[in-house]
Amino acid sequence: MRTHPRSRAVRVPGGLSLRLDPRALTVVVLLLLAALAAGVALIGTGDARIPVADVVRTLAGNGNAYQHFIVHELRLPRVLVGLLVGASLGLGGALFQSVSRNPLGSPDVLGLSQGATAGALVVIVLMSGSAAEVTLGALIGGLVTGLAIYLLAWKQGVHGYRLVLVGIGVSAVVTAVNGYLLTKADLVDAARAVVWMTGSLDGRDWDQVWPLLGLCAVLLPLVLTYGRGLRMLEMGDDTAGALGVPVQRVRLILMVSAVLLTAAATAAAGPVSFVALTAPQLARRLTRSPGPNLVASLCMGAALLVTADWASQRVFGAGRLPVGVVTGVLGGGYLLWLLVTERRAGRI
């Protein structure tokens, strides 16, 4: 496999070696700082505004009782959920786009977000379930949809364009099911479902933080462990197999990880659209590095979502929009640009 000319080999204890791209590393650090800065600014934003210096002082444990309550109990959980949801969607999108070798291979296009929405709607409309049950329903819906796409796309293995085409078909079917469920809901449940389907961080607390943090802590090391195999898969199944990569096993593990990340993010904040589609592409354009750019995509997703949530509160004033509306508008424009670019390049 050809090594990127800017990458450098770094040896670590135990005889292992890593290849680092200075530009990619710089981009990751800057994106991480941008995500944290946007998070601090978001904590200070709201009806009771708190200066950034006071936010930092309160996070360090030196604020007064009023600031401590606002920051630690009300706003910090929301920001952490935003960072984790954005990171999960960015990483999940990078995995799907790399496995499918297609920039359109994101959870939004493949129908996973719609599947998680269907699971949540079943709980809301048919069971009038609690918030915890809605979260569980969304997680189950995403997993079932991911399994269905994988099985339908299987034909002596799962290949990129077949996966995307099957995902688009499943997405259309599940979207129709979601519309049917809304027509069968009473007014109260329908209003509740529509609010959830918009995608929002409002009202998020520590109950959403810990499960998502635990899942990310487990899946991130697993995904990075298979990063080398994923990069080889981008060269084609035959080439990867010839280099000793167990193609179908690596693909299955990474797809399951991506489905879990997407479903958990959707369960925590609703179907926040287009972050999984745009974050990996923007990260790749910034790093100018080949391969899946997993860590850069993760940081880009976190920065995008928290910045969009900050913009939804500051730009629109009293008419604050849910973060899903902001990402939908920006992501929709990006999707149109991407389609035009791919068409001009003759890839679609």
Contacts of 25 (CB under 8 A, 6+ apart): none
Average pLDDT over all residues of the chain: 82
| 34 pLDDT more than 50 | yes
Confidence of residue 2 (pLDDT cuts 50, 70, 90): very low
**Using one digit for the tens of pLDDT, what is the confidence trace for 222-269?**
998 888 888 887 777 677 777 777 777 888 888 889 989 998 898 888
Half-sphere exposure of 125 (CA within 13 A, CB side): 24
Q: Which of 2-11, 79-88, 108-117, 326-335 has the lowest mean pLDDT?
A: 2-11
- Higher pLDDT among residues 2 and 46, named by residue: 46
Residue 251: name the closest of 89, 99, 92 by CA: 99
| 123 pLDDT more than 50 | yes
pLDDT value of residue 157: 63
| 180 pLDDT more than 60 | yes
Confidence of residue 11 (pLDDT cuts 50, 70, 90): low
| 36 pLDDT more than 70 | yes
Contact by Cβ (8 Å): 294, 31 = no
Can you give the pTM of this predicted structure? 0.86
Confidence of residue 16 (pLDDT cuts 50, 70, 90): very low
pLDDT value of residue 159: 65
- Higher pLDDT among residues 170 and 339, named by residue: 170
| 207 pLDDT more than 90 | no
| 202 pLDDT more than 90 | no
Beta strand ranges found along the chain (DSSP E): 8-12, 16-20
Torsion sign (Cα): 318, 265, 142, 335: positive
**Using one digit for the tens of pLDDT, what is the confidence trace for 279-312?**
998 898 898 887 788 899 999 999 999 998 888 8
**Average of pLDDT values for 42-53?**
84
- Could you please report the per-residue DSSP string of 158-218? --HHHHHHHHHHHHHHHHHHHHHHHHHS-HHHHHHHHHHHH---TT--HHHHHHHHHHHHH
CA–CA separation, 28 vs 25, rounded Å? Answer: 5
| 118 pLDDT more than 80 | yes
Q: Which of 101-105, 206-210, 259-263 has the lowest mean pLDDT?
A: 101-105
| 342 pLDDT more than 60 | yes
